[in-house]
Structures are given as structure tokens and as C-alpha cells.
Amino acid sequence: MQQQLEFNNNFLNQIIIHCIQNDKFLKSVRRVVSPDLMKSRDRKHLLNMIYEYYDKFECSPKDNFFDIFTESEKEMSDELYDKCISLIGVLKDITGSNPEYILSKINDAICHFQLEEASVEFASLIKKKKYTEAKSIILKAMKPPDGLDLPYFDFFTDKSYIEERIKETRYKMTTMIPGLDKLIGGLNPPWLVTLLGATKSGKSWGLMELAVAGVLQGLNVTFVSLEMDKNTCKARFDQIIGFMSSTDSNSPQDVMKYNGVEWIKSQEVIPSIYDINKVEKNTARLKKVSGGGLKIIAFNRGRMNYMDIDCLLDETEERDGFITDLLITDYLGIMKETCPGQSKKERIGENCLGLKDICGKRNMIGVTAMQGNRRAMQARVFHSHMIADDIDTIFNSDLIIAICQTKQEEELNRFRFYIANYRHGKQFTSVGIIRDLTVGQIALGEFDISDFEEFPDEQDVGTDY
């Protein structure tokens, strides 16, 4: 079933749209994807047209596509022209497709189509008892195409690292929290990021704010909630997007305001999520300015494991052409077992590795969260060893961010993001954050932590793994 979901008309259409738009993608597929793979006359015609352009100019047609299509009209029958026009309309509606992900699937797609065609001839040869020929047909169909990247490379001859290394300092997304981005730079696929926090520390709000940041940067975001229902998820996102209250009241409320020097508490009348007109306007504005998409899987009535999530990503891709760039799972500690009889530690560990594998094969960023143990609830700094249940999560994550807060900081609506572990940069650093959950903001502003003493007494000192 999964192969049918992936390798269908939608998949072939995505190959064509990336060939039109992406030089690197077209260069890679030109060597290995035959127009005959496209299954229909209109796709074959468009791909041949694109290949001819590439062979002449060594780049993808991009905005010149419609010009070269117009030039080729005289070679088409009326029937083919109508089909091509209809297909172009479908191609225009494809948004958020990830060229690197599609490219990583092409090898499997070609094998899939080759086996489909070979199976007919194979059955005929078996019926005729020509077993050697039948075996040869299948082996030939299973042979990977020449030209695509192999699972290994020659250290002395491969130079592809040059382009990747030049791009290394560019990030697919930032958190949009200036102080935090200054510490980590940003996030890239296929990273798995884990947010640590004690009970009631604001982990869900932090994950939702990252989701909105991804949408604002034009990414397709899938948010999986395993403890909140649809209405709760929608209400919280409405708060975050519109800086709105969750209470149906016109009375002034305590909110954080910046007076030009510092953040202080102030009594203000703020808009409410029960003002449906304002909610709709905020949603429409976000959609207009962002270019990204947001799918929410609210599964509070039961639990899911990474395999269930993988299937749902296939479904959104198949039904809506929605290819996820950022997957946020709230949260790792309550995910379902992957096989019967697992201990809690095994369940968490397998799902963590599973999410990381999904990020790798789909070339996307993954973010999840983990709860702290009792010691983490009392510590001024949430260290990696204070994680609950399965410390292996630390070793499988590219970035571990801990939410740290003292009683005094809580009263002042303050906390600290602490970089507990970071494979790609500096760790054991912090940034002070002002939050105001009255209006759904976990990162409203920042405060100076230069006077903060990270290890005030012996009991908080621990080793970060």
C-alpha cells in the first residue's frame, strides 16, 4: 500500500515540476529518468521538452517553460494539447514539495515501475516454464539505475562535499527567537531536536511557537498532538498567532509590556479568541504572508507511534500534495509502543530512533519533547542527566534545549533556554526569555542573564552528556 501511495501520478507530477524549477534536480534526473517512466503522453511530452531545453542550455527552464511550451504547440495534436494544458494546471497547484526528498525516492520509484512492467512478462515466462529467463527479467528490473547517488562514495574522487560545505552555514529555518538563534544559528534537516521541560514548564507552547515560526518561513509543518484535542490545539494556535487571550472577558488582565527599558507587568484589555472575526482575520493574514502550510494531527483519544505518523505523512502527501518540511511531535514520552511487551524505556527509545529515521528519509526537521524527572522540577538548570525514563534520547538528538526556571523567575514571567547538548555547535549556554502565556507567547522578549549564577549550590551541579 505504501508503495502505491508514493509512486503514483502525484509523484510523477512532482518530478516534472522540480525539473522545471530546479537546476540541480534536473541535472540528476536527466541521466536516469526516461520520459517513458511518465506513464502518459502529456507527461512524456513535457519531460522531453524540458530535457531538450536542458541539453541545449544546461539549466532548468524556470520562467521560460511557457515560452518553450508555446513553441512546441505546432507539434501537438489538439487532444495532446488539451491534456498538456490540463496537466500544467495541476502542476501549478503543487506547493511545498521537497525536491531533495523526491530525488531520494527516485531510485525506489524506478525499481517499482520496472518491477511492475517486469511482473507481466515474468508471469508469462513462468507459465511457459522458462524459469531462467523469468529470473533474469526480475533481476534486471531490480537493478538500480545508473547515475543516481550510491549509498557509498569514493573519498578521493567525490567532490560533492564542496557545494554542501558552502551551504553548511545556511539554515532551512530559524526559531525566530533572536537570542536563541544567536546561540544555535538555526535548524537544518535531517536534525531531530528535543525540548526538555519539567511538568507545566510550557513545552507544548514552545513546540507550537516553533510550528508558527516554520509556517512564517514558508515551510510545510505537521504538528502531532498526542494529548490535546482538535479544539484545544486550534485555540492555542489562535492565541499564539493573534496574541490573544483564552478567556471570554473584556476586563483588564495581567500582561507583559516593554516600557523601553525592561519588561513589566501591566493591566491591559486584550483581544479574545472568542472574537471569531478577529481570529479569522489573523488566520487569513498568516496564510497570506507566510507561504507555508500547517497540518494538525490531534490524537488525544489514543496514542501513536512513529510508524503511524509515517503513514499519516504519506496520506497528506497523497491526498493534498503536502510534503512536510517540519514535523513536531508532542510528545515523545507518551508515544505508543512499536511492538507488544515493550518497557517504557524501550518504547521511548524506539520511537525516538523512528522519528530520527523519518527525518532522514524525508529530509525534514523533526522536533519533539521530553519530560524531566523530579530533580529537574527543583533545579535551577535542567541538565541532560535529569531527563525522565530514557537518557538515550539525548544521544539520538542533534539538539537538546532545556526550559529552566526558578520560583523567582516564574513570578516575573521569566525562564531560560539552556543548550544542554548540540552536535553542530556550542553547548552549555543560555538565553533569558520573557514569556506571557496569557497571550500564548512563550518567547515574547528576552532579558539579560549575565548576573545569573548557573550553579549556585552543589546539588545542581551535574554532568551533561
- Identify whether residues 251 and 135 lie together within a single domain: no
Q: What pLDDT is stored for residue 450 in this prediction?
A: 78
Tell me: pLDDT of 456 over 50.
no
- Identify whether residues 31 and 106 lie together within a single domain: yes
- Identify whether residues 213 and 285 lie together within a single domain: yes
Cβ neighbours of residue 212 under 8 Å, at least 6 residues apart?
237, 240, 241, 286
pLDDT-derived band at 96 (thresholds 50, 70, 90) equals: confident
Per residue in 304-330, pLDDT (tens digit) is: 999 999 989 988 888 888 999 999 999
Cis peptide before 190 (omega within 30 of 0): yes
Secondary structure letter of residue 152 according to DSSP: S
Other CB atoms within 10 Å distance of the CB of residue 138: 16
In-domain check, residue 149: no
In-domain check, residue 328: yes
pLDDT-derived band at 2 (thresholds 50, 70, 90) equals: very low
Q: Is the dihedral of CA 51, 55, 60, 63 positive or negative?
A: negative
- Identify whether residues 133 and 186 lie together within a single domain: no
- Identify whether residues 60 and 197 lie together within a single domain: no
Tell me: pLDDT of 375 over 80.
no
Across 70-81, average pLDDT: 88
Tell me: pLDDT of 49 over 90.
yes
Q: What pLDDT is stored for residue 99 in this prediction?
A: 86
In-domain check, residue 162: no
Cis peptide before 331 (omega within 30 of 0): yes
Query: How far is 160 from 2, CA to CA, in rounded Å?
Result: 31
What angle, rounded to 10 degrees, do the helices at 230-242 and 276-290 form?
70
Query: How far is 149 from 131, CA to CA, in rounded Å?
Result: 33
Q: What pLDDT is stored for residue 6 in this prediction?
A: 58
In-domain check, residue 28: yes
Domain boundary among 81, 114, 142: 142
The DSSP annotation for 193-231 comes to: EEEEE-TTSSHHHHHHHHHHHHHHTT-EEEEEESSS-HH
- Identify whether residues 238 and 347 lie together within a single domain: yes
Q: What pLDDT is stored for residue 327 in this prediction?
A: 98
Tell me: pLDDT of 213 over 90.
yes
Per residue in 357-367, pLDDT (tens digit) is: 999 989 999 99
Q: What pLDDT is stored for residue 458 in this prediction?
A: 35
- Identify whether residues 302 and 188 lie together within a single domain: yes
Per residue in 270-286, pLDDT (tens digit) is: 999 999 999 999 999 99
CATH of the domain at 271: 3.40.50.300
pLDDT-derived band at 31 (thresholds 50, 70, 90) equals: confident
Query: How far is 462 from 205, CA to CA, in rounded Å?
Result: 27
- Identify whether residues 408 and 269 lie together within a single domain: yes
Please, are residues 251 and 324 in contact by the beta-carbon 8 Å criterion? no
Q: What pLDDT is stored for residue 219 in this prediction?
A: 95
Q: What pLDDT is stored for residue 166 in this prediction?
A: 66
Q: What pLDDT is stored for residue 245 in this prediction?
A: 95
Across 437-454, average pLDDT: 83
CATH of the domain at 84: 1.10.860
Average pLDDT, the chain: 84
Q: What pLDDT is stored for residue 280 in this prediction?
A: 96
Cα 266 to Cα 205, 254, 356: the distances in Å are 22, 6, 43
- Identify whether residues 133 and 261 lie together within a single domain: no
What angle, rounded to 10 degrees, do the helices at 344-362 and 306-320 form?
30
pLDDT-derived band at 436 (thresholds 50, 70, 90) equals: very high
What does pTM read for this prediction? 0.68
Q: What pLDDT is stored for residue 216 in this prediction?
A: 95
Across 193-203, average pLDDT: 85
- The C-alpha cell 550510491 sits at 150
- What does the angle CA 90 – CA 91 – CA 93 come to, to the nearest 5 degrees? 70
Q: What pLDDT is stored for residue 124 in this prediction?
A: 86
pLDDT-derived band at 463 (thresholds 50, 70, 90) equals: very low
Q: Which tops the pLDDT comparison, 242 or 458?
A: 242
Please, are residues 71 and 52 in contact by the beta-carbon 8 Å criterion? no
- Identify whether residues 182 and 130 lie together within a single domain: no
Tell me: pLDDT of 430 over 70.
yes
Domain boundary among 142, 169, 194: 142
In-domain check, residue 270: yes
Tell me: pLDDT of 299 over 70.
yes
- Identify whether residues 274 and 396 lie together within a single domain: yes
In-domain check, residue 11: yes
In the chain, the percentage of residues whose pLDDT exceeds 70 is: 85
Q: Which tops the pLDDT comparison, 172 or 381?
A: 172
- Identify whether residues 108 and 211 lie together within a single domain: no
Tell me: pLDDT of 394 over 60.
yes
> Which of 11-15, 104-108, 252-256, 358-362 bottoms out in mean pLDDT, i.e. has the lowest?
104-108
Cα 293 to Cα 20, 358, 418: the distances in Å are 22, 19, 29
Per residue in 122-155, pLDDT (tens digit) is: 888 888 888 888 877 777 776 665 555 555 567 7
Q: What pLDDT is stored for residue 393 in this prediction?
A: 73
For the chain, what is the domain count? 2
In-domain check, residue 261: yes
Q: Which domain holds residue 405?
A: 178-460
Domain boundary among 127, 142, 157: 142
In-domain check, residue 75: yes
Q: What order do you get walking across the sheet with 192-197 strand by strand?
A: 293-298, 220-225, 326-330, 365-371, 192-197, 399-404, 414-422, 430-436, 441-447
